[in-house]
Amino acid sequence: MKKWKCLVCGYIHEGDEPPEKCPVCGADASQFEEVIEEDAPAEEAPVQEAEEAPAEAEPDEEAEPEEAMVEEPAAEEAAVEEAKEEEASIEPAPEEEAPKAEEAALEAPAEEAPVKKWRCTVCNYIHEGPEPPEICPVCGADKSKFVEFKDGDEIPSRKKKAAPAAEDKPAEEAKETYKVEEPAGGASTPEPEPLSFIEKYDAWLSLLTRHHAHPIAVHIPNGLVPIAVIFMVLSMLFHSQSLGQAYFYNMVAVLLAMPWVLFTGYVDWQRVYNGASTSVFNSKIVCGLIVAAIAFIVVVWRLFQPDILMPGASGRFFFALLNFIMVGAAGYAGFQGGKLVFNK
């Protein structure tokens, strides 16, 4: 009788042909190979002994033929169960335990890593994460402008002091600086030295920043430019000179306000945001210059061509296009300013 070995689980089948399916692992007949017994001489002695043993035990075999037939299936079942246990203990363990160990190793650092806070030194925006962002979402400052911010730290004021040198001195020295010595003999006390022009100018700039001069000033063009453009469109639709005149007066007010808007914006940029050159501030500067330039162009153009909004006027649609560009620039500058004020 031939023996067939399953190449997958090692199960041994006895028979003329391999089984259609391995009873242990389920492999098909192609996974079986014939077991060739090469050591026949060496096994002759055990075989002879095995042949002699039945001869000696003939009476027992005749007495118990049913027991021998019961033991053979029991041995096969034991071999099948043993092969199943070996397969279950060897194959699933590496495939299941290795990914679990890798997942546990990856998840452990993520749970233990503390959440850090980072403060933008330009606009005081607070970012939460293991590292600061590449670019501040509020003011556009790069990663180098962020410092670690811990719970309990105070957010410093962005406004500069009028006399920063006095901050470095102790309180007692500061008092002595402004103390006026009384001269002997009852002479009159000398008057303090008057402030220089630079000191007065610096104090005046501090007042502009403290009282929000730029946000107040920028409401003039942001409010009047859209109204002026509405008057322009109505004048072109209804051929109305009076609406065109209303447009012109509003644009004159915008033109007069723009120098003050640009100046106060520059003061806030230097004193509050330390003159940081980021995409947000650069875009606000460019938009402010565009609004000022277009306001100047349309006012002068309207002076030399009063009927520019009437049908048939040369350059009528290009004139309107300039106004729409001005509205877009003013709106975008206001949007960027809102991000800085509200840190969003």
φ, ψ for residue 120, nearest 5 deg:
-75, 125
Helix (H) or strand (E) holding 126: strand 126-128
Identify the pLDDT of residue 101.
Answer: 54
Give the pLDDT band (50/70/90) at residue 165. very low
pLDDT tens digits for range 207-265: 999 999 999 999 999 999 999 999 999 999 999 999 999 999 999 999 999 999 999 99
* Phi-psi domain of 71 (left: phi exceeds 0; alpha: psi -120 through 50; beta: other): alpha
Q: Could you tell me the residue ranges of all domains in the chain?
A: 3-59+75-88, 117-149, 212-342
Residue with the larger pLDDT of the pair 37 and 227: 227
Identify the pLDDT of residue 1.
Answer: 74
Give the pLDDT band (50/70/90) at residue 29. confident
Give the pLDDT band (50/70/90) at residue 188. low
φ, ψ for residue 93, nearest 5 deg:
-60, -50
Residue 19 has pLDDT above 80, yes or no: yes
8 A C-beta contact, residue 145 and residue 123: no
Q: Among the CATH numbers 3.40.50.1220, 2.40.128.20, 3.40.50.1820, 2.20.28.10, which is that of 3-59+75-88?
A: 2.20.28.10
Name the pTM for this structure: 0.54
pLDDT tens digits for range 278-327: 889 999 999 999 999 999 999 999 999 999 999 999 999 999 999 999 99
Residue 161 has pLDDT above 50, yes or no: no
Q: What is the largest CA-CA distance in the chain?
A: 151
Query: Which DSSP category does 170 fall into?
Result: -
Identify the pLDDT of residue 34.
Answer: 86
- In the CATH hierarchy, which top-level class contains the domain 117-149? mainly beta
Query: Using CA atoms, how far apart are residues 111 and 58, in angstroms rounded to an integer?
Result: 74
For helices 213-238 and 279-304, the axis angle rounded to 10 degrees is 40
Give the pLDDT band (50/70/90) at residue 55. very low
Residue 39 has pLDDT above 90, yes or no: no
**How distant, in Å, are the alpha carbons of 180, 181, 182, 189, 192 from that of 185?**
15, 13, 9, 11, 20
